[in-house]
Amino acid sequence: MLSVVRDVGPLRARPAVTPYIALWARMHGFSKEDLYGALYDGRRLVRLPAMHSDLHIVPTEDMPAYFRATQALAESNVSTYLAYLVSDASQNNGQQPVCLDDVISRVLEIISTRGACTADEMARWLPVLGRQFPFGKNGATEPSTFRLGTKLLPALCAQGQLVYAEPSGSWKSDRDRYAALSTWLPEVNLNAIDPRKALERVLLHYVHAYGPVTIGDMVHWLGTARRRQVVPALMGLGPRLAHVEVLGTQGEAYVLREDLERLTARPDGDRFVRLLPPRDGALMAYRDPGRFLPREYRDRMYDWAGDSLGAVMIDGIVRGMWWPQSRGDRITIRFFEEVDPEAMAMAGEEARALGEFLEGETPDIVISLDGEAANGDAEVPQRIPLGALPLQ
């Protein structure tokens, strides 16, 4: 499994079911216990905020590289931003100011004493974490609010003081527990690599997982990077990179020399159908997804935030979408255009297998073409409602 994670790049870890589906789609005989055990028992994998500040899963030994590269590319300091948010909200709402330094000290003290805990559990011992702060104003509408704990604890993870531990609930749960990095992963030294080498290592992993890729792809994937930051790191990898052109795309692309022969000599294989989860790493890795998604369907496959929806991939090309309905007892597949009967049958079997993997029961399968409605099928949602599956 560690080899697969390295080969396919960091796994998107939110929603909680996403990495499980991503590995299930790529591994024979994968079980939920494999990933859960690697994350929370053996701790060979770890969840951390990385590219785009999103939660990812990486091998634990690579955590310092992703942490240092992310810190070096960050446009702003998370603690400074959070302090501004709290101060601004307090002033505008007439609340008593909060001293974040004191709160952080108490958080670290509680976690070191009591062990991993959720934001709700922490708020019972430190009530200020449950305090609601308003932010944002939109005309006459009510401002949004946030609870201090839900912002502060992830911020401490981004700073390397805390780490995402075993969640509260089942493997599907997004109710995170937080632990001190020093006790959860005592062997990890986040300063073991300097930022420049860290970015080189992260880009090496990216090119290996997704190459051929352009500099524009790299900037897109990293989220907060600038071309001037990426180019020097590529120069450090110079001898290991080959320059290639990808037919149908623009710009020079890069691939690892050690991967080039394998890619160009790829033999014809059996047909395959894969159901990839929303926000799958491969679907989010490129600035232009044209290599696997026809341009006319791009707006169907990505939502307003740029996140990909659940994809039906046939022989390497995205041909449709999938999503669960009810409480996971139905999986709907909608193709963008007609596909051959063999591919349609394979997609149905894959959906049945996915439903059994997620729920342990065989789901109903609904298959339709774009513009059609099957069995009272609802319109495609803006976001695939994985939250409709039981989380606890």
- Tell me the one-letter amino acid at 331: I
Tokens standing for residue 333: 């597949």
The secondary element (H helix, E strand) that includes residue 253 is strand 253-256
Q: Examine the fold and report which residue of 118, 151, 184 is the final residue of a domain before the chain moves on.
A: 184
> Which residue's entry shows tokens 């099957």?
374
Specify the pLDDT at position 380.
45
How would you list the strands of the sheet with 317-325, edge to edge?
Answer: 273-276, 311-314, 317-325, 330-335, 364-369
Q: Examine the fold and report which residue of 184, 209, 232 is the final residue of a domain before the chain moves on.
A: 184
Specify the pLDDT at position 224.
81
44 in any annotated domain = yes
Give 41 or 374, the one with higher predicted confidence.
41
**Main-chain dihedrals φ then ψ at residue 258, nearest 5 degrees:** -70, -20
372 in any annotated domain = yes
The CA distance from 372 to 379, in Å, is: 10
Do both 336 and 376 map to the same domain? yes
The total domain count for the chain is 3
Do both 315 and 349 map to the same domain? yes
- Give 67-113 pLDDT, tens digit per residue: 999 988 876 566 666 666 566 555 545 566 777 888 889 999 999 99
Do both 66 and 12 map to the same domain? yes
221 has a pLDDT exceeding 90: yes
Do both 231 and 287 map to the same domain? no
Do both 282 and 365 map to the same domain? yes
Specify the pLDDT at position 381.
39
Q: Examine the fold and report which residue of 156, 184, 212 is the final residue of a domain before the chain moves on.
A: 184
Specify the pLDDT at position 388.
34
162 has a pLDDT exceeding 90: yes
- Give 231-256 pLDDT, tens digit per residue: 999 999 988 999 998 877 777 899 99
Domain span holding position 219? 2-74+194-264
Do both 114 and 217 map to the same domain? no
Tokens standing for residue 68: 């240092």
| CA pseudo-torsion sign 366, 370, 375, 376 | positive
153 has a pLDDT exceeding 60: yes
- Give 48-58 pLDDT, tens digit per residue: 999 988 999 99
189 in any annotated domain = no
Provide the mean pLDDT of the chain: 85
Specify the pLDDT at position 109.
94
| CA pseudo-torsion sign 11, 17, 21, 23 | positive
Length of the chain: 392
SS3 state at 197: helix
390 has a pLDDT exceeding 80: no
156 in any annotated domain = yes
Q: What percent of the chain has pLDDT over 90?
A: 58
387 has a pLDDT exceeding 70: no
SS3 state at 143: coil
Q: Residue 270: pLDDT band by 50, 70, 90 thresholds?
A: confident
Do both 212 and 346 map to the same domain? no
Distances (CA, A) of 113 to 122, 152, 185, 258, 343: 12, 19, 16, 48, 55
Q: Per the omega criterion (within 30 degrees of 0), is the bond before 15 cis?
A: yes
Specify the pLDDT at position 142.
56
290 in any annotated domain = yes
Rg (CA), the chain: 22
- Give 285-303 pLDDT, tens digit per residue: 999 898 899 989 999 999 8
Do both 290 and 253 map to the same domain? no
Do 292 and 316 touch, CB atoms closer than 8 A? yes
326 in any annotated domain = yes
176 has a pLDDT exceeding 70: yes
